[in-house]
Structure 1
Amino acid sequence: MIIKTKNESELIDELAKLINDKSEEAITKNGSFKVGVSGGSLVKFLSVALQNVKSDLSKWIVFFCDERMVPSDSEDSTFGAYKKELKGKVNLNDDQFVQIMQGVTVEAAAEDYAKKLMKHFGEVSLPKFDMLMLGMGPDGHTCSLFPGHKLLEETEAWVAPIGDSPKPPPERITLTFPVINNAGCVVFAMAGASKAEMLRRILVEKEDLPATRVELSEGEVVWIVDTEAGKYLPPDHFTK
């Protein structure tokens, strides 16, 4: 599904509607909403969108689709960015965020995060997130899965370490494609002309890039794009 919006404000409204629907559905069915978030522009979008979400935020469990191996007070920390942006705006407590262990090797952090996922999802072959909110970089990467990197072919691990990220900082952990593609819903929210050419390559040309590989086994991938980001997409690509 590709939803075209007039501008960033309308994009945020559509994102809020989708989050509200999916979170209420999950809470009604399972008693909680298990959601994975990414960094970048999504942090800003969510700091506004979540103020318009009516579901019970106390039932949310928030995971990270990827994270940098940096202290939480670093400007590179995704958790730190959410803590800063959401404070005083959204009633999510720090302990609702399942955080990455810092101050250890990237391999140890990945192993620890996989254990944390297992604690919340149980002894399953793959965790099934209710929703993952992903970003897309200018090279088509998503999470910390970069073009040409060996992690694109990971088939077993839930969480993988990366020590040679082409985008700094180099040490990160990331969810893998088996986990991403097992989610109930994945949403990409894209605004601005800088996203337009890459969106064309992914959604029209179907070029083999990491973001193109997000294809759920069950569930739906939703792209919400503003006019500028979607300017190279043919009209028949849009759901609405």
Structure 2
Amino acid sequence: MAAPIISVSETDKLVAEKLCSFVVEKANKAIEQRGIFTVGFSGGSLVKYLCGGLPGRSTDWSKWRVFFCDERHVQYDSADCTYTPYKEGLVDKVNMNPDNIFPIDPSLSVSECADDYANKIRKVFPGDGLPQFDMLLLGMGPDGHTCSLFPGHPLLEEKEKIVAPISDSPKPPPARVTMTLPVVNNCRCAVFASCGEGKADMVQRVLEGGESPPLPAARVRPIDGELHWFLDAGAASKLKHKM
């Protein structure tokens, strides 16, 4: 199981630059080895980092297949939608084929939406086995949640579904769809990016706390892949062991 590889930069701007360089390096290697790059995006600060830093970098965008680690069950024009800022800030800027980014269908019920999203994933990862994404870019909330997997929630124990609905998210909006932990931990590379002193306590708890039961973000440990944390000095300030 992957031990975290921690990279600390002085500022969030440097974190974003290092993160985007890392993503493109992994993308180009995946394209060279397997012909496509399969990636899952998350919302929050990652939108700013990726949309600000990825356009203009050298990669074959036609080989990217972009999914979402989780998404709020809202219309595309909602401020809570994760897909739209990536569509406008990345896909449109690099002239990526819009068919290569996979949003949820918010016209469906949240349960049907999750099933439909699992089917979209299966079109790129055919068969019954767990899909293996090249990279999942993850966020971490102030309660230690990642994707839409919240502390103490039954979805943390989901073993059968690759995408699950949630209707009682403790963080609004309550209805969402999310990749499950078996999918997350089957990826080739899981990546967190956290910046700011406000994240320092939770970063320390997730990476060094050894809590039982572990917080959702601490349960991200790829079985046969890498785990990377990109932090600024503020977010890393309470860690005992830094790289």
Name the TM-score class by shorter chain: over 0.9
What is the one-letter code of the residue matched to 2:18?
E
Residue number in structure 1 paired with 2:123: 119
* Residue number in structure 2 paired with 1:50: 54
Ranges in structure 2 where 5+ consecutive residues have no aligned partner: none
C-alpha distance after superposition, 1:19-44 (max 9, x if no partner): 11110111011111000000011000
Partner in structure 2 of residue 229 of structure 1 = 235
- 2:164 equivalent to 1:146: no
Question: What does the per-residue CA deviation read over 1:152-188, in whole Å, with 9 as the maximum and x for residues that have no partner?
Answer: 0001110000000001111100000000000000110
Match status 1:20 vs 2:24: yes
Q: Corresponding residue for 1:198?
A: 202
Runs of 4+ displaced beyond 6 Å: none
Q: Does 1:75 align with 2:79?
A: yes
Measure the CA separation in 1 of the matches of 2:157 and 2:64: 31
Determine which of 157, 170, 177 is the counterpart of 2:181: 177
Sequence identity of aligned pairs in percent?
50
Question: What's the TM-score once normalised by structure 1's chain length?
Answer: 0.95
**Counterparts in 2 of 1:190 and 1:116: CA distance versus 1, 3 Å:** same
Query: What root-mean-square deviation, in Å, do the aligned CA atoms of Structure 1 and Structure 2 show?
Result: 1.3
SS at match of 1:86: helix
Q: Per the alignment, do residues 64 and 206 of structure 1 end up closer, same or farther by CA in structure 2, a change over 3 Å counting?
A: same
Deviates more, 1:44-53 or 1:87-96: 87-96
Q: Would you say 1:213 and 2:222 are equivalent positions?
A: no
1:66-107 Cα offsets, whole Å, 9 max, x none, are 011111010000001212333664333432211111111111
Distance, in Å, in 2 between the alignment partners of 1:102 and 1:233 is 40
Is residue 103 of structure 2 the alignment partner of residue 99 of structure 1?
Answer: yes
After TM superposition, the score normalised by the length of structure 2 is 0.94
